Amino acid sequence: QKRCGGLILTGGDLAMGVFTHLSASSLRIEDEVLPGIPLSTLADGPFARLRLVTKAGGFGEKDAMVKIIQYLMGS
């Protein structure tokens, strides 16, 4: 069985819903993908160490998602 390598989440409501569904209560910030857009890992729960990029829904440049994907593919 394969495990998901990571998630890109946009919007606070979506992020909170995913955290709740994955039974996580905290994140560990690992890096900054772009200014104001962190790369984190789930700190606890059954999916601990799952990588997440969280971006505020209305935040960032038009090509932010492309740059996030490029960052993740290179790391």
Query: Which has more confidence, 59 or 72?
Result: 72
Q: Are 7 and 54 in contact (CB under 8 A)?
A: no
Count of beta carbons in the 10 Å neighbourhood of residue 67: 14
- In the chain, where are the structural domains located? 6-74
Whole-number average pLDDT of the chain: 91
Q: Give me the pLDDT at residue 48, please.
A: 94
Query: Which has more confidence, 4 or 56?
Result: 56
Intra-chain end-to-end CA distance of the chain, in Å: 23
Q: Which fold has domain 6-74?
A: Molybdenum Cofactor Biosythetic Enzyme; Chain A (3.40.980)
Q: pLDDT at residue 23 above 80?
A: yes
0.85 exceeded by pTM: no
Q: Are 42 and 50 in contact (CB under 8 A)?
A: yes
Over 60-72, what HEC string results?
A: CCCCHHHHHHHHH
Considering only CA atoms, which of 7, 10, 19 is closest in space to residue 46? 19
